[in-house]
Amino acid sequence: MPLTLDSNGLIPAIVQDASSGEVLMFAWMNEESVRNTQESGEAWFWSRSRKELWHKGATSGNTLAVREIRYDCDVDVLLMKVDAAGPACHTGERSCFFRVLGDPADAMPV
């Protein structure tokens, strides 16, 4: 079944730890990054800001070994179940979702 890409040729991908179920990160993929991920067994994404393919962990060593890629009922979102070699977040946190909205210690505006 072909994937449903948005007008920019992208599909959202949720990355989840295959063992614990913890959501590690969110990123965008295009057809080439999906293909590279399937062929290599490691996560590849599309960087919207840099306009280029991005092999997760290429510089940090924090790769994501992909066990399985699922898609939702509308075929417009991917769920990647992975084994992470190190933190998934560029900040060094295990997950990109380490902050809580409304937490007074967090300076992020609402």
CA-closest candidate to residue 32, choices 48, 41, 45: 45
26-57 pLDDT, tens digit each: 999 999 999 999 999 999 999 999 999 999 99
Q: Beta strands of the chain (E only): which ranges?
A: 11-17, 23-29, 44-47, 52-55, 64-71, 78-84
Report the CATH number of the 11-84 domain. 3.10.20.810
Range with lowest mean pLDDT among 6-10, 33-37, 48-52, 103-107: 103-107
pLDDT at residue 75 tops 90: yes
In whole angstroms, give the CA distance from residue 64 to residue 41. Answer: 8
For residues 45-64, one letter each, b for 16 or more C-beta atoms within 10 angstroms of the residue's C-beta and e for the rest, the string is: bbeeeeeeebbbbeeeebbb
